[in-house]
Amino acid sequence: MTRLVTIFTGQWADLSLETIAAKAKAWGYDGLELACWGDHVEVEKAANDKTYCARQRGILEKHGLKLYAISNHLAGQLTCDINDRRSHAFAPKELHGKPEEIRKWAIQQMKLTARAAKNFGVTTVNGFTGSPTWDSWYGFPPVSPEDVEAGYKYVAATWGPILDVYKECGVRFALEVHPTEIAYDFHTAAKILQYLGDRPEFGFNFDPSHFHWQGVDPAGFVREFGKKIYHVHMKDCIIRRDGRSGILSSQLPFGDSRRGWEFRSPGRGQINFEEIIRALNDVNYQGPLSVEWEDAGMDREAGASEAVGYVKKLDFKSSNVKFDAAFEKK
């Protein structure tokens, strides 16, 4: 049996859970990865009321859908970010303009998300951590090694108590390795694992689109961090080499054809998903392949319905016998 193909509801939170569940089933998905916004998962309710979780799960079950993970990227981002006016999109209105109050709220939300996952009966929470040092990634004005190390120490100190709750609940947190997070490539991922003491509660949500435009090898990342790949997003990406806009993309919005790179619906970009599936087989990843649909140039319903077929056709089991075994002499 190949892996389940699910769809992340974060880009569909304008729709009710009932509506997106019905659509996902009609398109052919096996399950949903529920976002902790919209009416899909209300974190405080889910953390404190098992009947609420049973009701939400019941919506999925009515449509023959499974639940493997919930995701709280928005609150997670605020735990270690430099919270400014951009943070207001993710934080309660009464906390706007109060960066440290926003941080305290976010930390509590991520602890509650672990309890929500336990009540839902799932063992994986996907999300972000933010980063106190992302704004200094270029290194000018000069950034000292001590400043960089301080950023990792800060994230580890902030997330240590959060991960204690995940351990208590028997839930794992999967950081989506992603620019603007403390881990965004091989070296930074290895470093945060080191600072967290390689805790089993902390691993990665692998999304190849975030590696591709940086020039980082996605399949290589899977093989390097195999035991820490707790969840997988399927999203494609394209780099445009027109000599005008590079990977920094000139601060042009998604969907602008002048950008140096763009997310694409699975199968419509440049990512070699064949190698990614083989790498996932090599590390024995058995979790779902979750479509995170973000293609600014394509109708989302057409894209989501096409993507599930592409991913299901793409996936295959690894072989338990070598093709040339028939030539071996007994």
State residue 167 phi and psi, 5-degree precision.
Answer: -60, -45
pTM: 0.96
pLDDT reported for residue 181: 98
Q: What 3-state class would DSSP assign to 78?
A: helix
Give the residue ranges of the chain where pLDDT is below 50: none
* Domains of the chain with bracketed CATH: 5-319 (3.20.20.150)
d(CA 8, CA 170): 22
Share of residues in the chain with pLDDT > 90 (%): 95
Q: What is the pLDDT of residues 30-86, one digit of tens each?
A: 999 999 999 999 999 999 999 999 999 999 999 999 999 999 999 999 999 999 999
Q: Are residues 177 and 203 in contact, defined by beta-carbon separation less than 8 angstroms? A: no
According to the model, what pLDDT value does residue 320 have? 77
Q: Which of 68, 163, 43, 58 is nearest to 121 (CA)?
A: 68
Whole-number Å distance between alpha carbons of 117 and 172: 9
Structure tokens at 84: 């400014």
Residue by residue, DSSP assigns 161-192 as HHHHHHHHHT-EEEEE--TTSS--SHHHHHHH
Q: What is the pLDDT of residue 233?
A: 98
Report the amino acid identity of residue 74: L
What pLDDT is recorded for position 126?
98
**Kind and range of the H or E run holding 34:** strand 31-35
Q: What is the pLDDT of residue 2?
A: 86
The secondary structure of residue 304, as a DSSP letter, is: H
